[in-house]
Chains A and B, each alone.
Chain A
Amino acid sequence: MLSFPKSRMLLGLGKRFKFSVPTRSFASSNEPDVDLSQSEVRHAASLSGNQGTEQSEYIKPWAKRLDDLNQGARLPRSVQALYLRPLRRKAQYGLPVCDLQLRSYSVRNVEFFADFAIRAAYYLKLPVSGPVPLPRIVERWTFPRSNFVHKKSQENFERITLRRLIQIKDGNPQTVQTWLAFLRKHSFYGVGLKANVWEHESLDVAKTMDDAMPEIEQSLEPHLSQFGQRKDRGGDQSILDILESERFTKNKGPLTDVRRG
């Protein structure tokens, strides 16, 4: 999913060799003079075999080259994207298709997984809004610390459930299912998922339902045939006979028989 060429294309940075990074980036680009292109590095590396025989001005000293590798080389775009804010698609119509609620007791887990879900949605070309922090659910319990005599000394416990809402807008239902399946497959520990999925139908929905009816009837036939009264039951059985049947008379409790005489 985070394949390199795809993400490079999506990032829209094209074929620039030097990756200029904003303030909260990981790679320091303090020295502007190490703007060495990849091809030059490769060229230098290939030449390094016969370094002893001829010295060209392309070849730099070892220390300088290692320094260039550290500061001038860049990570794949997909890895670089992880250090930046998640990318998003623009919704064309803004029609909500799926509400995903993430719940956890830990902020780190739920934040991390929300971020993951948004990135996954981007690569599946699903427009996303969120994560919306929903109100926390606070449950509190109070217990006496020891026996009931010491009721005055009590202790409070609480459990705070944190929630994040991620909404998918005008996505293909199948893609949404793929996204949900991907999130379930890579679900994170301590994070629960709850998804409300809406499907939209065209205006002549009654016609399509009528068309689907024979198939549904056929699939329901074995179940519906179980309903109704059995033919071999014996219709003349009165309610008093049922009450006197073994099923209703045998399950008596102890000491329920009336003593006679």
Chain B
Amino acid sequence: MSQFRAKRLDLGGFINARVVRDHTKRKVYEQYEPERQALRYIIRNTTLPQRARAQAQLQLSQMHAYTRPTQIKNRCVAGGIARSVFRDFRIARYQFRQQALAGELPGVKKASW
């Protein structure tokens, strides 16, 4: 969402709208994590009054979607693609293939066995 987005671009590498969005979500999640964890703690703590726990549940569910960790999706740093992104290189499969064939990934060779 625009209220969370940085006023100036604070990203390097490949950039498109979806990459910026994912980056914003990561930053917002990091910023609001203490609040989320506090509410989660109140919800799960059975020694607290039921009313407080119910209120914490409501407040947690009303928090902005960008504060949720499930909104974060790994994206290819070379092409912005969200599918088939490999954690080892943070690159999607097609970029991986291109870079590996060009010898840009250290140690990666065509395999045959």
Contact = CB atoms under 8 A, between A and B. Distances in A.
Co-complex (A, B): yes
Interface of A: 105-106, 139-141, 143-145, 155-161, 190, 239-240, 243, 247-249, 251-254, 256
Contacts of B67: 251
Best-surrounded residue of B42, B59, B88 (most CB of chain A within 10 A): B59
Q: Which 4 A-B pairs have the closest CB atoms?
A: A105-B107, A158-B111, A253-B64, A156-B111
Contacts of A247: 35
A248 B64 CA distance: 12
B108 A159 contact: yes
B19 interface: no
B65 interface: yes
B19 to A, nearest CB: 22
B76 interface: no
User: How many interface residues does chain B have, given as a range?
Assistant: 35 or more
Given A240-B51, A243-B56, A159 B42 contact: no
B25 to A, nearest CB: 13
B56 to A, nearest CB: 6
Best-surrounded residue of B55, B86, B105 (most CB of chain A within 10 A): B55
Interface of B: 1, 32, 35, 38-39, 42, 48-49, 51-52, 55-56, 59, 62-65, 67, 84, 86, 88, 93-94, 96-97, 100, 105-113
A156 B112 contact: yes
A251 B108 contact: no
A118 B74 CA distance: 43
Best-surrounded residue of B35, B65, B108 (most CB of chain A within 10 A): B108
Contacts of A145: 97
B73 to A, nearest CB: 19
24 contacts: A105-B107, A139-B88, A143-B93, A157-B96, A157-B108, A157-B109, A158-B110, A158-B113, A159-B105, A159-B107, A160-B107, A239-B48, A239-B49, A240-B51, A240-B52, A240-B55, A248-B38, A248-B59, A249-B59, A251-B63, A251-B64, A252-B63, A253-B62, A254-B64
B61 to A, nearest CB: 8
A199 to B, nearest CB: 34
Contacts of B65: 253
B4 to A, nearest CB: 11
A159 B56 contact: no
Given A243-B59, A251-B32, 17 more contacts: A105-B106, A106-B107, A140-B111, A141-B86, A141-B96, A155-B97, A155-B110, A157-B100, A158-B113, A239-B48, A240-B51, A240-B55, A243-B42, A251-B63, A251-B67, A252-B62, A253-B64
